[in-house]
């Protein structure tokens, strides 16, 4: 019997096996997370996390999926992507975070 696909901890949609996916270090490697916990995400979700938050912000305030989902810009992204099918993968990137 086939196992159900894993669920993305950011958008809470299934991650089909044929969709781009990547591992996210909850604490960035450069901020002490090397060898630490990782989560499997849709690649689009992973890109949005890094387009929104710096490595320092991730390490200090957003080291859990719950904290990431509570960030205002990520919450808006999650609301938007939730309306797309799990295999959705746009060809262009969104705007980068302000420095």
Residue burial 47-80, b: 16+ Cβ < 10 Å; e: rest: bbbeebbeeeebbeebbebeebbebeebeebbee
Convert the pLDDT of each residue in 2-12 to its tens digit: 788 999 999 99
Query: Which residues are 14's β-sheet partners?
Result: 7
**Burial of residue 44, with CB atoms counted within 10 A of its CB: 0-12 exposed, 13-18 middle, 19 or more buried:** buried
Residues comprising the chain, all counted: 99
pLDDT in tens, 4-42: 899 999 999 999 999 999 999 998 888 877 888 999 999
The model's pTM: 0.85
- Token pair 């019997």 is found at 1
């Amino acid at each position: 019997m086939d196992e159900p696909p894993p669920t993305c901890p950011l958008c809470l949609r299934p991650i089909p096996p044929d969709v781009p996916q990547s591992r996210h270090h909850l604490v960035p490697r450069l901020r002490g997370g090397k060898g630490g916990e990782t989560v499997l995400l849709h690649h689009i979700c992973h890109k949005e996390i890094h387009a929104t938050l710096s490595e320092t912000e991730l390490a200090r305030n957003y080291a859990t999926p719950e904290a990431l989902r509570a960030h205002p810009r990520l919450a808006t992204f999650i609301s938007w992507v939730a309306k797309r099918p799990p295999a959705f993968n746009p060809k262009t990137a969104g705007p980068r975070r302000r420095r």
